[in-house]
Amino acid sequence: IHCLVSSGTSSKQVESELDAQYVGYGAMLLEGGLAVIVILACCAGVGMGDFSRVGTGAAYQYEPTIDAASGTQLTGVAAWETRYNASKGWGTFGLKEKIGAFIQGGANFLGAIGIPMKLGISIIAVLVASFAATTLDTATRLQRYVIQELAATIHIKPLTNKYAATGLAVFLGGMVAMLPRDATSGPGSGGLILWPLFGATNQLLAGLAFMVIVFYLRRRNKPIIFALVPMIVMLIMPAWAMLWNMFNSKSGWAYSADDWHLFLFGLIVIALQVWMMIEGLLVWSKSKGHLEQQLPELPRTRPTVAAASSGGSN
């Protein structure tokens, strides 16, 4: 996903290619830091103490969950096992529980520096909502780019307009989101219909991004081994995981009438990956030292400052 964002959005926001080094590397550091914080919040943060919401309306409060045996707040392993009740099966641990674990763990971190639990939970909840909003914004923008480029390729002129393409992207996304996930879920859970595909397809995109990097370096006679090895790993492992989800004997999508759409999309994704790999193999021998055709220089986005004349007045 990040390679799509960087190529579709970030590339249009930097003034020169040199800026991409700072933006890309800085974003990678921030993303890695965020991932570490989330892991810590969901693990160590949850163990710092369990809280329960008491009261209704604006007067509600969060009070420590008391262990009946010891009469003290649940902390450590006891708090962790209360939040992650594996005896019920991880299949019952839905989106609400996952987000709740992060919010509570993050609020515990804030509580350690003196921020009240109620305020801390509100802060972390706002961060989660903001992250969701920016994700929707980015997804809509990427979808608009895809629609515009496809429309230009197959000559559907109305959809090359950014407003029409954005409207179609919002309509399609909203339509999917409002669908029920299954017979037991109500409208609004449609976003989870294709969610099981996200992990593998996201990593397959990373493999294809590595492939682009490898060919870029090979065309310039640069070392490629540091990108070639992770490319191979990222092309094999996610595909293996996808195929396991599709064909494993216990829960494979191929054997479930309710998961036919996952199986169909999985086949399409695997077929596209194989296609890209074949295309890469076909041009591998001809790519070394063969540079791409240079694009014309883009017009400057801002006027250059005219040099001051040597005889200017004071």
| pLDDT tens per residue across span 18-73 | 888 888 888 889 888 989 999 999 888 888 888 888 888 777 888 888 887 888 88
Q: What are the tens digits of pLDDT across the range 216-237? A: 899 989 999 999 999 999 999 9
Q: What percent of the chain has pLDDT over 70?
A: 89
Residue 46, in any domain of the structure:
yes
Q: What is the mean pLDDT of residues 94-98?
A: 79
> Which of 82, 115, 148 represents a domain boundary (last residue)?
115
225/211 Cα distance (integer angstroms): 12
CB atoms within 10 A of CB 116: 13
- Mean pLDDT, the chain, rounded, equals 84
The pLDDT score that the predictor gives to residue 200 is 85
Q: What are the tens digits of pLDDT across the range 97-117? A: 888 889 999 999 999 999 998
107/122 Cα distance (integer angstroms): 8
93 pLDDT above the threshold of 60: yes
Structure token pair of residue 162: 């950014």
Length of the chain: 314
Residue 18, in any domain of the structure:
no
Q: Write down the residue that tokens 């570490």 correspond to.
A: 36
Residue 60, in any domain of the structure:
yes
Total tally of structural domains belonging to the chain = 2
- The confidence band for 288, taking pLDDT boundaries of 50, 70 and 90, is confident
Backbone dihedral region for residue 174 (phi beyond 0: left; psi -120 to 50: alpha; all else: beta): alpha
Cβ contact 261:197 at 8 Å: no
The pLDDT score that the predictor gives to residue 300 is 62
Residue 227, in any domain of the structure:
yes
Q: What percent of the chain has pLDDT over 90?
A: 29
DSSP 258-275: GGHHHHHHHHHHHHHHHH
CA angle (201, 128, 38) in 5-degree steps: 70
Residue 169, in any domain of the structure:
no
Structure token pair of residue 130: 């903001």
309 pLDDT above the threshold of 60: no
Give 161 or 65, the one with higher predicted confidence.
Answer: 161
299 pLDDT above the threshold of 80: no
Residue 136, in any domain of the structure:
no
> Which of 115, 135, 150 represents a domain boundary (last residue)?
115
The pLDDT score that the predictor gives to residue 90 is 67
Q: What is the mean pLDDT of residues 187-200?
A: 80
> Which of 86, 115, 144 represents a domain boundary (last residue)?
115
Cβ contact 138:9 at 8 Å: yes
The phi and psi torsions of 312 (rounded to 5 degrees) equal -70, 155
Backbone dihedral region for residue 221 (phi beyond 0: left; psi -120 to 50: alpha; all else: beta): left
302 pLDDT above the threshold of 80: no
Residue 130, in any domain of the structure:
no
Which residue range is the domain that position 219 belongs to? 194-287
Residue 174, in any domain of the structure:
no
